[in-house]
Structure 1
Amino acid sequence: MSTSSPTPPVGAPPSEPAATPANIRWTLLGVMLGMLLAMLDNTIVSTSMLTIVGDLGGLDHISWVVTAYALATAVSTPVWGKCGDLYGRKHAYLTAIAVFLVGSVASGAAQSMSQLIAFRVIQGLGAGGLASLAFALIGSLVAPRERGRYQGMTATVMAVGTVGGPLLGGLITGHLGWRWAFYVNLPLGLVTFVWCQVMLKLPRQRSKAKIDWLGIVLMTITISSVVLAATWAGTTYAWGSWQIIGLFVTAVVGLFAFVASQRRAPEPVLPLRVFATGNYKMASVMVCAAGAAMFGATLYLPLFQQSVQGADATSSGLLLLPMVAPIALVSNIVGKVMSRTGKYKIFPIVGSACLAVGLFLLSTMDTDTSRLVTSLYMVLVGVGLGFLMQMTTTIAQNSVEMKDMGVASAGVTLFRTIGGSLGVAVFGSLFTRALENHLPGSGTGNSDLELSASALAGLPAGARDAYLGAVAEGTQHIFLVAAVICAAAFLAALAVKEVPLRGKPGGAPGGGPGTGPAGAASVGAQAGAPATAATAPPGRPAA
């Protein structure tokens, strides 16, 4: 059993890599490709769903294609993070890529909806490690003081995945067939695997610690209950139904049992010590709120623009450009400023404020709002997310020791997923209720209420106006609630304490040499060699 070193006192910066190696951008490119792999898959498959149902049938099970993937991703995220901390993040990351590719090939070859759902579970298990381990690898390779220099790369990956996914999905489905929506992962995944195998050099890491199976089971029950309740509430079952209440009760009981088990486990899957600092707690609140806001915006803004403003559905990914482009631009600028100054508290404060205001402005849209006005509001939302999203990960990672980098990063990813799932559930319920109020007798599910552009054009003028008014009202409710959620993120940002970031550009980390128990990674170091800090030449910052 491995021994744990004492947690540093609150306010003390944890051990981190001393400096960033010179060829880090090439190494991080491979890590980012893994993140892109997971992001593109989600958006590409969503675009192909109607074609998949037309081929395989099983319309009544279509939601499980998404739910099974999301559930497997959420459940496996902390497990991948812990395995990376115990047995090496490089090998865990390569394994996650391999699992994801196996699930992708199997999904593309599925002959029934049941098979597709089962294979999507395998794919989701791999996806759980792609994002969380990517952030953990970044935390291992780059000192927090220098991490801001590379935020632009992460934001660009998010932008490409958000905008490029729907466009690529429509192109692939229309010309190659829906199976290639899964097969397309194979070439990108193989390039990512080989790139990381060759470029990513980390010290060998072995642990005799036993896997916390009890914690994994309890965590799976808790997360599954939350995700299923969030997915089904207001659509498959009413919020007050015994099924939804039972799931929430199971989640609460499971949470208490999980916390109790983590206090006793020799090597817990999600150590409670990562929550010892207030900054990690506040970062979790902020990333949860940002996840809800981003999921809601990416789902319902294109719907509003296509239905109410008459935008072209075939270019739905481009509709999000006014929001996505500022995310990449602002993240890049903010990261460089943080690297030069070492200051970061002001960024989540400004970001959550911009996000709350932008979402509130979106809640004022009606059937007369122009696309230009909507785009201006989206720019403000994008600026807020650019200030906030990547900074929360830096704050969280700067709050823990190196040996907990994996579970800390996985925790942030998990909270973003849960925030998005809960947000989508609440938003979907609000949207459905608005449509039902305006269109009585039209049904209880979103599939009965959402109309295509051609079907909308064929409605009588009165019915069409009623539908557009319902969509506008539902959108208003969604973004008003999202603005309130982001107001909570603003309060959390105010409570963040500006703990000095470890590492100085071109030198050793402020606060003393040394690495955490997991070892600071040195790109280019030989496997099995001691973890040494790569330093830049005197007078020149590490690149």
Structure 2
Amino acid sequence: MEHLSHKRKITVMMAIIAAMFFSSINQTIVSTAMPRIIAILGGMDHYTWVVTIYMLTSTIATVLVGKLSDIYGRKPFILTGIVLFIIGAFLSGFSKDIFQLIAYRGIQGLGAGVIMSSAFTAVGDLFAPRERGKWTGVMMAVFGFSSVIGPALGGFIVDHMNWKWVFWIFLPIGIVAFVMILTMFPKTERRESESIDYWGSIFLTLSIVPLLLGFSWAGTTYPWDSIEVISLFGAAVLFLIIFIFVELRVKSPVLPMSLFRNDIVTLSNLIGFIMNAGMMGALIYLPFFVQGVEGVSPTYSGYVTMPMSIAMVVISAFTGKWITKTGKYKRYAMLGMPIMIAGMVMMAFMNNIAMAVASMIVFGLGLGFGMPVFSLTVQNAVKPSELGVATASSQLFRSLGGTIGISVMGTIMATSLKNNIADKMAASGGGMDMSKLDPATAEKFQFLSGPQALLDQPKLQQVQESLPDAIQPMFNQVVEALRDALSSSLTTVFLSGAALLVVALVLVFFLREIPLRTSNKMDEGAASKDEAASESAYQGERGAETALNKA
């Protein structure tokens, strides 16, 4: 699609951005609302599964669609992704319990994976790597903008409306995005010489599912050394070996092993994996601090997290322009990663709303510098014919990192919380003797059996008001002990996330930087051309484009 006129490219980009915004806003609007939704539906023990199933299905969809979109084109898959996402969002609003919500979020995840894989690859079809820097920044800004309005809107809805509208309010945008893609996106011809790798797709799926299930259940549903968890990890390894065996022999592998002989692709994907593991695994618990520890309502919780998104939007837009102008990208990753680490460490020790806001601003700045880089490095290092599968591999590793990170951090959170609750309750002394309470009052105190109570402020206030004055000090004592336990556990989670980001920063030092190509036409030696030649070609191309537009 690089041959299209500049005006047509902008039109297509508008359609892509509409689809991406629909997907991203429906993710971010859930973030601050989910603690309240879980409190209403019940099932705190399954909280991470609402996120994990979304990441699991989106991960599988992402990598499978990557190769298929190289064969059939991006358009049919973006349309399919939008339809799946609409269905999943619509059904989520009808959830009667946590298990239905998990199932419907899985459908949403399938749609999101298809949309994101196809959309990011389509940008690679439209623009040369040098131009992609600018558009990568724009796409990050779309995510950032949805992160600005989504959390606040999600909090407002669960505070003032039925929680179902969290999933339904943006469905009309999905319909608009579908129509825009259908009418504006150009159709591409199928590559007749390519075949579908069915066996590779099957065994890749069979590798991913038990791997993520093992990490999700380990330490929570089952012990790490249980037969269930060990069996899942064993199955994942077995199917992975079979998958690699298949991929080395098929004509058109769903995930070519040759990709990983490219050191830039391999290292970029590894950095993306570790970075997302630390970042996603920790950031999912931000609402727990704001709502649970500080007692802020979901509405205002969205306002507290908003500065992080604003900082990311502004900096990512500028970073994209700077990458396009200079052709250099490694320096921005080197700058962004330490800032992200600083923000995460600040989160670990935040003890009030002001410090929470400051830490989120710092982390948002780091995200703005670092996040646009690694997809760009992968796309720039491969041939155009491998664009879809290479982009899918990048998103696969990020999704795997995020999913595994959420699961591991969930285990860390659960273990730390159990120990901290026992310690805090014991430290509170004899005023906690529940045996002295009458049965009716003791039953009300069962609501305070875990930190889930802190996430449902209206119910917490209702229980407190129903208790006799003589019991109020004991109630406040229990609530304070729960808040201290939750705060201490979150410190452990954020420090663990920061440690993983440090590992990602170290790997960035070893990332090889090659000039960003000024065309999608790539021969075998294109990646090794010196920067001066790249700059000269880029300036000549831009001059020709300007003259054409004037004409």
With normalisation by structure 1, the TM-score equals 0.82
How far off its partner does 1:108 sit? 4.6
**192 and 536 in structure 1: CA distance in 2 versus 1, 3 angstrom threshold:** farther
Aligned to 1:251: 236
State the distance in 1 between where 2:96 and 2:142 align: 32
Counterpart residue type for residue 502 of structure 2: A
Equivalence for 2:450:
448
- Of residues 417, 422, 430, the one that matches 2:412 is 430
| Amino acid of the structure 2 residue aligned with 1:243 | E
Query: Which residue pairs with 1:84 in the alignment?
Result: 69
Aligned to 2:199: 214
Q: Is the 8 A contact 1:431 1:475 kept in 2?
A: yes
- 1:20/1:141 contact within 8 Å kept: no
Match for residue 130 of structure 2?
A: 145
From 420, 427, 452, the counterpart of 2:402: 420
By how many angstroms is 1:465 displaced?
Answer: 3.9
- Taking only the aligned residue pairs, the percentage that are identical comes to 34
- CA 1:200–1:451 in 2, change beyond 3 Å: closer, same or farther? same
| Counterpart for residue 257 of structure 2 | 272
* Aligned residue type for 2:454: S
Contact 1:360 1:479 in 2 (8 A): yes
Alignment-derived partner of residue 378 in structure 1: 360
The CA deviation at 1:224 is 0.8
Residue 538 of structure 1 deviates from its aligned partner by 3.0
For residues 337-392 of structure 1, give each alpha carbon's deviation from its aligned partner in whole angstroms, at most 9, with x where no partner exists.
11111111111111122222322333333xxx333333222222112211111111
Aligned to 2:431: none
Matches within 5 A, 1:453-464: 454=457, 455=460, 460-464=475-479
SS at match of 1:265: coil
Contact 1:159–1:327 (CA under 8 A) maintained in structure 2: yes
**2:321 — aligned with what?**
336
Equivalent in the alignment of 2:492: 477
Does the CA contact (< 8 Å) of 2:155 and 2:298 recur in 1?
A: no
Asked if 1:391 is matched to 2:393, the reply is no
Aligned-partner Cα distance in 2 for 1:312–1:159: 22
Which of 171, 180, 185 in structure 2 is aligned with 1:200?
A: 185
For residues 73-122 of structure 1, what are the alpha-carbon distances to aligned partners after superposition, in whole Å with 9 as ceiling and x for unaligned? 22121111111011111222222222333444454566777666554443
- The one-letter code of the counterpart of 1:419 is G
What is the CA distance between 1:292 and its match in structure 2?
2.4
- Residue 490, structure 1, aligned to residue 505, structure 2: yes
CA contact (8 A) 2:315 2:368 kept: yes
In structure 1, the partner of 2:175 is 190
Alpha-carbon contact 2:294-2:352 (below 8 Å) kept? yes
How far does residue 439 in structure 1 lie from its aligned partner after superposition?
1.7
Tell me which residue corresponds to 2:538: none
Q: Distance in 2 between matches of 1:542 and 1:298?
A: 47
How many angstroms apart in 2 are the aligned matches of 1:35 and 1:234? Answer: 35
8 Å Cα contact 2:336/2:367 also seen in 1 = yes
> In the superposition, relative to structure 1, how do residues 433 and 99 fare at CA in structure 2: closer, same or farther (>3 Å)?
closer
Residue 473 (structure 1) shift: 1.9
Q: Structure 1 residues 52 and 465 mapped into 2: Cα distance closer, same or farther (>3 Å)?
A: closer
- 1:237 counterpart (206, 216, 222): 222
The alpha-carbon distance between structure 1 residues 181 and 462, as it changes in their structure 2 partners (threshold 3 A), is closer
Instruction: Report if aligned partners of 1:18, 1:514 keep a CA contact under 8 Å in 2.
Output: no
> 1: CA distance between counterparts of 2:478 and 2:31?
28
Distance 1:229 1:359 in 2: 27
Q: Give the C-alpha shift of residue 64 in structure 1.
A: 5.4
Conserved? CA contact 1:22–1:542, under 8 Å = no
CA distance in 2, matches of 1:413, 1:61: 25
Distance 2:52 2:295 in 1: 30
**Measured at CA, do residues 151 and 360 of structure 1 come closer, stay the same or move farther in structure 2, by a change above 3 Å?**
same
Tell me the distance in 2 between the aligned counterparts of 1:177 and 1:137: 37
Taking structure 2 as the reference length, the TM-score comes to: 0.81
Task: Kindly state the Cα deviation for residue 499 of structure 1 after the two structures are TM-superposed.
Answer: 0.9
Consecutive unaligned residues of structure 1, counting only runs of 5 or more, are: 1-15, 517-534
Instruction: Specify whether residues 466 and 140 from structure 1 end up closer, same or farther in structure 2 by C-alpha distance, changes over 3 A only.
Output: same
In 1, Cα distance between the equivalents of 2:284 and 2:171? Answer: 27
2:284 equivalent in structure 1: 299
Instruction: State the distance in 2 between where 1:251 and 1:258 align.
Output: 10
Aligned amino acid, residue 244 of structure 1: V
Cα distance in 1 for partners of 2:190, 2:405 equals 38
SS in 1 for 2:219: coil
For the residues of structure 1 that align with 2:179 and 2:112, how far apart are their CA atoms?
18
Contact 1:162–1:317, Cα closer than 8 Å, also in 2: no
Query: Which residue matches 1:532?
Result: none
Cα deviation, residue 232, structure 1: 2.1
Equivalent residue runs for 1:16-27 within 5 Å: 17=2, 21-27=6-12
1:165 Cα offset (Å):
2.7
How many aligned residue pairs are there?
A: 501
Bigger relative contact order, structure 1 or 2, given CA contacts below 8 A and separation 6+? 1
Q: How far did residue 317 of structure 1 move?
A: 2.1
The whole-number CA distance in structure 1 between the counterparts of 2:484 and 2:96 is 41
CA contact (8 A) 1:148 1:332 kept: no
Aligned to 2:442: none
Q: Deviations over 1:22-68 (max 9, x none)?
A: 45343222212222222233344566667877998888877655444
For 2:273, the aligned partner's letter is C
Q: Equivalents in 1 of 2:118, 2:317: separation in Å? A: 21
Q: Closer, same or farther in 2 for the Cα pair 1:447/1:415, shift >3 Å?
A: farther
Counterpart in the other structure of 2:17: 32
SS at match of 1:450: helix
Which is worse superposed, 64-73 or 488-497? 64-73
Contact in 2 for aligned 1:44/1:166 (Cα 8 Å): yes
Sort the Cα spacing of 1:207 and 1:176 in 2 relative to 1 into closer, same or farther, 3 A: farther
Query: Alpha carbons of 1:118 and 1:146: their partners in 2 closer, same or farther (altered >3 Å)?
Result: same
Tell me, in whole angstroms, the C-alpha distance in 2 between the residues paired with 1:173 and 1:136. Answer: 35
Q: 1:326 aligns to what?
A: 311
Q: Among 253, 263, 269, which residue is 1:284 paired with?
A: 269
Query: Aligned letter for 1:418?
Result: L
1:466 matched to 2:468: no
In the aligned structure 2, how far is the partner of 1:424 from the partner of 1:114?
A: 18
Q: Give secondary structure in 2 for the equivalent of 1:207.
A: coil
**1:291 partner amino acid:** N
RMSD: 3.5
1:382-438: CA deviation from partner (whole Å, max 9, x where unpaired): 122111111111011111111111111112222121111121122222222222222
